Structures are given as C-alpha cells and as structure tokens.
Chains A and B, each alone.
Chain A
C-alpha cells in the first residue's frame, strides 16, 4: 500500500464544510484512493474513492491533485453525526483483491455545535 499521511485530529463547526487532507506521495498510477470513516467502535463505513478525477456522492466530495500526491475529503455541511475517525487508504493492486486495506491512525474529526 502507498503510505498515507493524515493529521491526527481536526475540529469543525457544525454546518461548516470539513476539509480533511491526505498525503499519498508514493501512490502509483493504478492505485485508487479510498476514504472510510469509523464512528466510535462501529464498523468502518465506506465514503468515497477515486483514481484521478474529482468525485462526488451523497456523502462527500473527493478532490485529488493533478499529480495525485494528495487528496482532500470534503464534507460540505458537517453535522454532529459526522464526528468520527476518517481513514485515507491507497491500497496496492494485489492482483484483484483490495481487501488488504491498511487502516492507519486516520484523522479524528470532532464536529462541534
């Protein structure tokens, strides 16, 4: 897996956009960037993934830099329920299996009223 670096923690005001950065400078051309989150001891939840282009779904937007060395997860209107640990993962191509996701420490996002 490409090594990813994320800030340990971040705060965000409720209703504001939360921008979570991730550095993955060693990512290879065929590696996707995945984002998951884990709300206190629950199972991790898939958020979004992308390869080159920016992506958006009902949960978040993913902005990937042109050189693909970093990305930003954007929660457009953070709520208290978005308080969680957010993991940025760039798994290598294991011949068709992306299950060997390496979850680092992630970023603990605290959304405050």
Chain B
C-alpha cells in the first residue's frame, strides 16, 4: 500500500539554525498538510497546501515557517530560525482529492532544538 514518507526521522539542531523537513506524499494525492505534536500533547494543524499554494494556515505557522513543493514529489517544511519551543514531532499528511475523507499521515520527523 502506498505510504507517505518523511526524512529525516530525527533532526537535532541548534537554536537559530534553519531546518528543512522533507515529505514525499502519496503520488496521486493533491492535498498536503503539515502538523506538529509536542511530546505528550495533541496534534496541531500548521498548514494545508493545494495546487501549489497554501490554502490554510494556523496561528502557529508564522513568518518563520514556509512550505514548498519544489519538484512535484517532495513537500517541504522550512523553519527559518529555530526556537527551543519548535521541538516537536512534525507530521506530513496527504489526501487524494477534495471528496475523499482520509488523510494519510507519514511517520513523522522528530525535531530537537538545543
């Protein structure tokens, strides 16, 4: 069965550094999402992406965050200048089309900011 993949599985960075988290959504899916989950807490929506542009974003997704689909297969989340409180698990998800309910989540990237 097709899966959403994410790399790396774990990223350790120094505060103030830029990080790029990578996702490969399921190949025929059109809607893409990033979520984060701070350890032991709930999943929080960051951003949704469709037709090469952001369709919705939450208050968390401030100017430090950006998303890109550079080559038709990868979907990236960039954090420009990481803060300690950015430490979390970041999940990418994809959905086939507008009428399909199911969002498929990737395994996540654990980001640790020191």
Q: Do A and B bind each other?
A: no
Residue numbers of B with Cβ under 8 A of A are none
